[in-house]
Amino acid sequence: MMLRNYDSSHGASSVESQAEEVPGSLPRKSPPKATGETKHKLKILQWNCESIRNKKLQLINKLKNADIDIACLQESHLQPHQKHGNRFIIRGFQTFKQDRKNGPKGGVITLVKNDIPASEVRVETGDRAEMVGVKIHLHNKEMLIYNCYCPPTKEHILHAMSISEHCMVVGDFNSHSPSWGYTVQDARGEEVEDWQTNSNLLLLNDAEDPPTYYSRSWLTTSTPDLAFATEEIALKTSRKVEDQLGGSDHRPITLTIDKLTQRRETPSFTRWNYKKANWDLFQLATNEMSQAINARSHKVDRTARYITEAILTAAKKTIPRGARKNYRPFWTDELEKLEDEVNKVRKDAEENPNINNNIKLKETTARLRRETISTQRKGWQEKTASLNLEKDGSKLWNLVATLNGEKSKSGPIVLEKEGTTVTGKEAANVFIKQYAGVSDIEINKDRRRQVNLDILELKEASHGLKDTEMDRKFTNEELEQALRELKMKKSPGPDQVTNEMLVNLGNGMKRKLLQLFNTSWRSGRIPQAWKEATMTPLHKQGKSKDKAESYRPISLLRCLCKTMERMVNTRLTWYLENNNILIEEQAGFRKGRCTEDQITLISQSIEDGFQEKKNTVAVWIDMEKAFDRVWKKGLSYKLQKYGITGKMHQWITEYLRKRKARVKIQEHLSRCHTLKEGVPQGSVLSPTLFSIYINDIQSVIPKGVNAALYADDLAIWTTEENIGTAKTYTGYVRPVLEYGVTSWGMAAKSNVQKVISVQNQNLRIITGGMKSTPIRIMESQSQIESMLDRRDRKLLTERTKYKAQPTSKMHKRINNLNKGRLKRSSFAKESKLIETENEIIQEIKNLTPLETHASTPPWEKQPQIEIRNHIRTIESKHKHSDLELKDLTSTYLNENFPKEEWIRVYTDGSAENAVTNGGSGVYIEMPDGKTTESSIPTGIHCSNYRAELEAIMEALTILGRITPSIPQAKAVILSDSRSVLEKLEVLRGAEKTTTG
């Protein structure tokens, strides 16, 4: 978009004359010349946008092209009760706004660049004019900026502002005075001038400036948009009226403050570009550098440092690194052309005010708005079309999070501390002092003495005992399993080594890493750097941004340490599950268990109480900062009490000892503080250690009271005939509404219908269906399952899971279905009804109990399984003929799985018309040339997918019978069902998740 300078001779205006220079106004100054040194200037955009919804695209483009630091918008027309009213996000800016609470239109928004520390100054406005105050922090100065909109029908709130030494006030004042270009003065203009004088402010408007507002009703121009500043700020400020923007009747204004202070530019954050990484070269480089590392040395700190340096050196040579390119907002040539056309027509209408020019202006502005909407819609369609949920759903969820404001980058943190504001390093020190204080807990002296005696007693009892099997050194298989479980695209710790680097290490460096882990395990020594965390404060939505308590810490730990933690945690969890140590009430971070299990149990208990004419009272307990307040000595005692001794106990104790942390805010680091108690935030081990710490919670729960735990979330409830008895146990808490799909079985129909209505509305948006379009047709077209079908499937899945969990409390309940006195729904009743109607489930006679842990300990040799869902030499089937595909596949198999060394297993499965009478077949070729065949029916109701899966399961069963007699047997299962292989890969990676 083109910008034009206006001079004093610009255009004819219906305002008969511009006033002479008056006291309180400043001589007109030319815009400062571009010198390339932007750190000494502050550019503020002032604009009455007359509804920002349909002008956001133009605003973003203006902010970028004009390098605006702060934008003050009036008449935003956003309301708090509207879905989009609570969110207004511009990339690279912080948002401060006040919407009109009790009517349409109105509202103000102030946008501040993310590299400028800013905090909101609260101004009590009531039902009067809208105003938002923002305090910005520039090096060694603070400046207050008030953004006001004063409609003609509402009372001014000028005296509600607290004018500081460095202050600016901008807005649409709807007042008349010769001081800013009117021929007459009204009462409001006089009120504004009195306030200006009493506040010692200078008017930044000049009588010679062009008008900012064009009235399409009266064909006149005027200047209701004013700016005031204290003397020091005013003397450094130039004001410029710009071209129209987005079709608003108000022109935007640029206020440039020169030589205000030197601003530090935020350093660019560089990222590794893994898509362009040369991993083969990376592996060679790490292998080469690993030869100089003595990983068996007891000096684990030095070894860890050498390995870290080697990995980073190899990464710098083989992985490109750079910052995100300068952001360019979405804009088109057509929009640029229409903006220029509106500028020209607007100028004609102002210079020659008549009906024809006015109509032309309205038509051109309407075309600009239609094109803006069309362009945004097209961009949105292209964006959503690029999403592939089947391949990767993370892009969609990232987009949703961005739209909800959850992913938007916030500006520098500004805290209030004893009446003053702090930012940068000072704010970081405030946070670390608070976090360290949370972990500094007081333990009763008698309790401390008793625990010390108990620990000595346990040590004496275990003295002389041999190391347990859990104390064996870690194997290469355990390391490889831990590396497979690492999640990609996660923030690294202070050393900047990422999970992507670790999973691509060369075998030589992996051996050194394993040696380091075993040295640490054997000696009980842990590199001190591994026990130091960098914390980043994350704002809690809805909380005040200037209070340290409104932020929760996100801890970044070293990925090398977290890899070893995974190996330790795998052993620890196996021991706990194999010995049935964890209480049944705990579902957190355990295989085969999830939050829905606990919700279902509580909901079923409440429903059972209704049927038995009993009252259920429940209490949901939030253990605030529970992980940070774990008493380390008490945890050590409980570990030994549950038989966790030897190297495991020694390593965990050392891991928790002398832990330190510092807070990082942008490039600012706080002092390093010791965390006296607690288990580390962000640690792989912490959830398991916390579960052990509160595992004896049953002992303090009264008899007759039920409990359900998910990590540190606790619910207790009791069901009694007398509500007073129930209150004695728990205290009265009003029940919450249903949560979780599996609790729908007992949800009120009205609540279920609300959820269904939301999905049906979305179906009409997705498909473009009319109100008369049947829901089933829209579900079919969009391939989205109905909410009721989804509920039934989920209920059936959960019921099947409980049937396969003999120890679950719901296992007995679902098999004991008594006739209720009330016609009410429950999970047990609804899931039983669905099971009865489902013929496929009826075919399943015996369920294998659901495994909570592997049958063999992790330190013993495990079968090595690798899943490959594509052949590397075949990019796409469509690029090759059938003969070429056959040759490429044969070559790949002979090179990677030669017949002389590998057992080759071919599987296939299919169903009639893809839905009925399924069957599976298995054909096995042994290295000695012998063959084995097997075929099995897979049910009357069966899909191709299920038949293919059954074939693989049958193949594994046969291999389980024949391979034990073959030394070092190697087998490859060959399937043509990519969907089954991809699903198996997903399930394999999800074994350690909390979803069950």
Cα–Cα dist 977/983, whole Å: 10
Residue 707's SS3 state is strand
Cα–Cα separations (whole angstroms), residue 697 to 597, 636, 877: 19, 17, 58
Cβ atoms 360, 345 nearer than 8 A: yes
Cβ atoms 483, 502 nearer than 8 A: yes
Looking at residue 159, what is its pLDDT? 86
Looking at residue 663, what is its pLDDT? 95
Instruction: Select the more confidently predicted residue: 360 or 381.
Output: 360
- Band of the pLDDT at 84, cuts 50, 70, 90? very low
Cβ atoms 186, 211 nearer than 8 A: no
Cα–Cα separations (whole angstroms), residue 941 to 783, 792, 924: 21, 18, 27
Cα–Cα dist 918/944, whole Å: 7
**What is the architecture of the domain spanning 38-264?**
4-Layer Sandwich (3.60)
Question: How many C-beta neighbours within 10 Å does residue 760 have?
Answer: 16
Determine the residue type at 348.
Answer: D
Looking at residue 349, what is its pLDDT? 93
Strand partners, 707: 716
Angle CA 506–508–509, to nearest 5: 70
Give the whole-number percent of the chain exceeding pLDDT 70: 82
State the distance between the two ends of the chain, measured CA to CA, in whole angstroms: 55
**What is the architecture of the domain spanning 877-989?**
2-Layer Sandwich (3.30)
Cα–Cα separations (whole angstroms), residue 68 to 62, 136, 761, 797: 8, 15, 39, 55
Cα–Cα dist 634/455, whole Å: 9
Cβ atoms 182, 109 nearer than 8 A: no
Residue 992 confidence (pLDDT) above 60: no
Instruction: Select the more confidently predicted residue: 895 or 783.
Output: 895
Of 129-133, 227-231, 361-365, 802-806, give the lowest mean pLDDT range. 802-806
Which string of DSSP letters, residue by residue, matches 615-639? EEEEEEEE-TTTGGG--HHHHHHHH
Of 226-230, 310-314, 342-346, 728-732, give the lowest mean pLDDT range. 728-732
Looking at residue 813, what is its pLDDT? 74
- Span 535-541, average pLDDT: 89
Q: How many residues does the chain have?
A: 996
For 837, the token pair is 């109607």
Residue 540 region by backbone torsions, left for phi larger than 0, else alpha for psi between -120 and 50, else beta: beta
Looking at residue 75, what is its pLDDT? 95
Q: Model's pTM, two decimal places?
A: 0.76
Cα–Cα dist 310/288, whole Å: 9
Of 120-124, 319-323, 386-390, give the lowest mean pLDDT range. 386-390
Residue 395 confidence (pLDDT) above 90: no
Looking at residue 470, what is its pLDDT? 83
Q: CB within 8 A of 568, min separation 6: which ones?
A: 521, 648, 651, 652, 685
- Band of the pLDDT at 945, cuts 50, 70, 90? confident
Helix ranges (H only) for 412-553 are 424-439, 445-462, 476-485, 499-503, 507-523
141-175, pLDDT tens digit by residue? 889 999 999 988 888 888 889 999 899 999 999 99
Cα–Cα separations (whole angstroms), residue 15 to 211, 381, 734, 913: 9, 47, 65, 81
Residues 792, 797, 803, 807: is their CA dihedral positive or negative?
Answer: negative
Question: How many C-beta neighbours within 10 Å does residue 75 have?
Answer: 23
Short-list 269, 273, 326, 271, CA closest to 667 = 269
Of 452-456, 603-607, 834-838, give the lowest mean pLDDT range. 834-838
Instruction: Kindly list the domain boundaries of the chain, sorted by start residue.
Output: 38-264, 271-319+476-523, 566-630+683-862, 877-989
Q: Strands (DSSP E) along 219-347, which ranges?
A: 220-222, 225-229, 237-241, 253-258, 270-272, 321-323
Question: How many C-beta neighbours within 10 Å does residue 588 have?
Answer: 20
Residue 577 confidence (pLDDT) above 70: yes
For 603, the token pair is 């909901």
Of 249-253, 524-528, 763-767, 966-970, give the lowest mean pLDDT range. 763-767
Of 21-35, 36-50, 551-565, 931-945, the range with the highest mean pLDDT is 551-565
Please give the DSSP secondary-structure letter assigned to residue 189.
H
- Band of the pLDDT at 23, cuts 50, 70, 90? very low
Residue 42's SS3 state is strand
- Band of the pLDDT at 730, cuts 50, 70, 90? very low
Residue 453's SS3 state is helix
Cβ atoms 90, 63 nearer than 8 A: yes
Place of tokens 């009264």: 702
- Span 510-521, average pLDDT: 96
Give the whole-number percent of the chain exceeding pLDDT 90: 41
Order of strands, sheet of 903-912, starting from the edge strand that comes earlier in the sequence: 931-937, 916-925, 903-912, 971-974
Instruction: Select the more confidently predicted residue: 936 or 466.
Output: 936
